Chain A
């Protein structure tokens, strides 16, 4: 009762109240966030700006203290460089091969685990196991599986009379193999996030749908998917960033060499940057790549968000009509 009477008062005089509320706590607040921003400044902002500065110089580690100003030469070198465009295309294709099936599978698995299945906790924990596995160990196992001569995958292909593939040397098989490692590692993680999102959806919506005679598929499409939209957007954004920065899997897939295969068939942008900086000792060029990657990632995320917002707006209209009908 008292809540109801006090409510109008707050809405009438919001500015005064807010000012009064802010005073005592504000400085303590800054003190609390200071450690984070100190660390953030030292390990994120400073390197970020320093990378930009280095990218305008011809810098090598051996001659680090006397590097020459070259303006935008590293960027023009990069954009006219076949290795860059090659890595860009690889990052895109591996990103698609690794991310799209991964998120679809994660959604499906989460949907299944959302039902009352026997041993549900076991499956939920098992799902997260790949994520908890060391990347290096996983890649070594995958290398054995995809071995050209003695691997299990080629053995299976042989068994069903399909041609055996060179999973390391040939372009598409190698990209699929690298994507398989990524998919294996991250599907369970994303499924758990989807599961959490699903459990936040009001159960009465499903009950209402059942009353309306909706099938399970219809429930999934019309209740689960719309309810999960923010979660899906989050996983798409995180996966896009992960795909754009893909590094460990392709590095280890060629036994720790940064060339991404003998023909660069799975060299990603992250790997190219590492090769330029630490193998070829051209830190200026590598810094230019780092900044270009940053811009690419920001653009990719904005496109994702933009697309989803537009679909949201489109989707919002018919739902309202349906609800009122």
Chain B
């Protein structure tokens, strides 16, 4: 009786110890499998073995939506693509950084947004496949817009961490019904003539605000940030000096863009909405503003927010006040430690090919993914694309023309946070009556918190 009790006690305590050590081991264990399949590529699919290639993405890249994964599976039946999607790009970037720091858990392909590509180039270039060293490097390089290629490369051009997916050439999207209601022209060609400079654009906005027939409580543009984030990239420098080091106070782009944005706020032509906030989203359908700066991907965003009811009300003017520039766009990189490196390289090369980039832009489900491959951009089906939603605007010609003229200032590690700090302060200028000088000072303080 007594003995059996004791042995039961011992058994229970052994079990408890075992559970505890199992828990600890589970925490410390993890991936012990070797990435043996990452050898040299065989064939057009990188490997002949049955392989699942994982692709880390954020938001909506449109590969799946436009049927590219299925198309690739048809081309390479042994390859299955599995997406690993994080909704917010900032969260995705944090996760990617964590995985790069620990050197584990990386997908075979990792998307890299232009907002953090400089960080990858500067701090993680050795952890990614160098696209200058792959067998087809020279022909691939020749097919991209040079500025797109350069942003993902070290300054000497020796290392390139990713191949471009889309770009974001910008024009102005507007509500023709609201402009008509305000008694103004709504013809894109006519507006293009009236909106060649930011001064003209702001003067046009004042006419809108002065109109007695305009929709009640509506304003000409969504936000001062819309003007700022566009104009800042029209300078020789945006947020960084030539070496990619943050230099906000000395930048010509920041200075002129801040001037135009605060002028727009002072003239009260902005709706004072924070971009990407719920109220901004609602404004696409309730008509709180008549125009906004519009990179190609914004076309998809507008359709998502305004829905079918907005069809035919929106149009695109073939112009960007102050000159052509780009907002956004992404890259695909292959980590050097990728489990299926050869298959991943083959997949990224295929996705960057002319044909696939053409599909991404012309397919009916497309969300405004303009090619970064200049051969694709020159393809007649891209150039001739029209958008039924945007009053049959010739979007291929409009954005193709702007993409060809685009020039890009140097980018740096903290452009995303710096832009956020400045546009947040612009909201204060618009809605809280903060003086532009005080707002700029506050923005610089917030930026100092980032740059250290």
- Report how far A250 CA is from B427 CA in the complex, Å: 18
Q: Are B452 and A58 in contact (CB under 8 A)?
A: yes
- Report how far A58 CA is from B452 CA in the complex, Å: 9
Asked whether any CB of chain A lies closer than 8 Å to the CB of B17, the reply is: yes
- Given the contacts A28-B13, A262-B428, A278-B94, A42 and B24 also touching, CB distance less than 8 Å: yes
Name the residue of chain A whose CB is nearest to the CB of B416.
Answer: A279
Asked whether any CB of chain A lies closer than 8 Å to the CB of B365, the reply is: no
Asked whether any CB of chain A lies closer than 8 Å to the CB of B277, the reply is: yes
Nearest CB in chain B: distance from A56 CB, A:
15
Q: Are A28 and B9 in contact (CB under 8 A)?
A: yes
Q: Are B23 and A27 in contact (CB under 8 A)?
A: no
Asked whether any CB of chain B lies closer than 8 Å to the CB of A133, the reply is: no
- Given the contacts A31-B13, A63-B123, A282-B450, A263 and B428 also touching, CB distance less than 8 Å: yes
Q: Are A61 and B98 in contact (CB under 8 A)?
A: yes
Asked whether any CB of chain B lies closer than 8 Å to the CB of A62, the reply is: yes
Partner of A263, one of B14, B414, B432: B432
Complex interface residues of chain B between 7 and 39 (CB less than 8 A to chain A)? 9, 12-14, 16-17, 19-21, 23-24, 27
Q: Are B12 and A28 in contact (CB under 8 A)?
A: yes
Q: Are B278 and A255 in contact (CB under 8 A)?
A: yes
Asked whether any CB of chain A lies closer than 8 Å to the CB of B274, the reply is: yes
Asked whether any CB of chain B lies closer than 8 Å to the CB of A259, the reply is: yes
- Report how far A166 CA is from B427 CA in the complex, Å: 14
Nearest CB in chain B: distance from A303 CB, A:
30
Partner of A39, one of B12, B23, B434: B23
Nearest CB in chain A: distance from B162 CB, A:
16
Q: Are A62 and B97 in contact (CB under 8 A)?
A: yes
Q: Quick one: CB contact mask for B425-445 with A, threshold 8 Å, 1 for yes?
A: 101100110100000001001
Name the residue of chain A whose CB is nearest to the CB of B94.
Answer: A278
Name the residue of chain A whose CB is nearest to the CB of B90.
Answer: A279
Partner of A62, one of B12, B23, B123: B123
Name the residue of chain B whose CB is nearest to the CB of A140.
Answer: B278
Asked whether any CB of chain B lies closer than 8 Å to the CB of A280, the reply is: yes
- Report how far A256 CA is from B276 CA in the complex, Å: 11
Asked whether any CB of chain B lies closer than 8 Å to the CB of A83, the reply is: yes
- Report how far A7 CA is from B213 CA in the complex, Å: 96
Name the residue of chain A whose CB is nearest to the CB of B278.
Answer: A255
| Size range of the chain B interface in the assembly | 35 or more
Partner of B17, one of A34, A83, A281: A34
Complex interface residues of chain A between 259 and 284 (CB less than 8 A to chain B)? 259, 262-263, 276, 278-282
Instruction: Give the total of A residues in contact with B, Cβ under 8 Å.
Output: 35
Name the residue of chain B whose CB is nearest to the CB of A74.
Answer: B452
Partner of A35, one of B12, B23, B94, B277: B23
- Report how far A156 CA is from B188 CA in the complex, Å: 44
Q: Are B278 and A65 in contact (CB under 8 A)?
A: no
Name the residue of chain B whose CB is nearest to the CB of A265.
Answer: B432
- Given the contacts A42-B27, A62-B119, A263-B428, A34 and B277 also touching, CB distance less than 8 Å: no
Complex interface residues of chain B between 322 and 337 (CB less than 8 A to chain A)? none
Q: Are A35 and B417 in contact (CB under 8 A)?
A: no
Complex interface residues of chain A between 51 and 106 (CB less than 8 A to chain B)? 58, 61-65, 81-83
Q: Quick one: CB contact mask for A274-311 with B, threshold 8 Å, 1 for yes?
A: 00101111100100000000000000000000000000
Q: Are B427 and A262 in contact (CB under 8 A)?
A: yes
Nearest CB in chain A: distance from B439 CB, A:
10
Q: Are A31 and B17 in contact (CB under 8 A)?
A: yes
- Given the contacts A61-B97, A83-B449, A280-B417, A34 and B20 also touching, CB distance less than 8 Å: yes
Report A-chain residues with C-beta under 8 Å of the C-beta of B413. 62
Report A-chain residues with C-beta under 8 Å of the C-beta of B16. 31-32, 34-35
Interface centre among B88, B431, B434 (most CB of A within 10 A): B431
Name the residue of chain A whose CB is nearest to the CB of B447.
Answer: A280
Q: Are B23 and A38 in contact (CB under 8 A)?
A: yes
Report B-chain residues with C-beta under 8 Å of the C-beta of A31. 12-14, 16-17
Nearest CB in chain A: distance from B111 CB, A:
17
Report B-chain residues with C-beta under 8 Å of the C-beta of A27. 13
Name the residue of chain B whose CB is nearest to the CB of A31.
Answer: B13
Asked whether any CB of chain B lies closer than 8 Å to the CB of A143, the reply is: yes
Q: Are B274 and A35 in contact (CB under 8 A)?
A: no
Q: Are A65 and B101 in contact (CB under 8 A)?
A: yes
Asked whether any CB of chain B lies closer than 8 Å to the CB of A169, the reply is: yes
Report A-chain residues with C-beta under 8 Å of the C-beta of B428. 262-263
- Report how far A28 CA is from B445 CA in the complex, Å: 58
- Report how far A24 CA is from B3 CA in the complex, Å: 13
Beyond A35-B20, A39-B23, A276-B449, 18 extra complex contacts between A and B, CB < 8 Å: A24-B6, A28-B9, A31-B12, A31-B14, A35-B16, A35-B19, A38-B21, A42-B27, A62-B100, A83-B445, A147-B279, A259-B424, A262-B428, A263-B432, A263-B442, A280-B449, A282-B450, A282-B452
28 intermolecular pairs with C-beta atoms under 8 Å apart: A28-B13, A34-B17, A38-B23, A42-B24, A61-B94, A61-B98, A62-B101, A62-B119, A64-B101, A81-B449, A83-B445, A83-B449, A143-B278, A166-B431, A169-B432, A255-B274, A255-B278, A262-B427, A262-B431, A262-B432, A263-B428, A263-B432, A276-B449, A278-B94, A279-B90, A279-B417, A280-B449, A282-B449
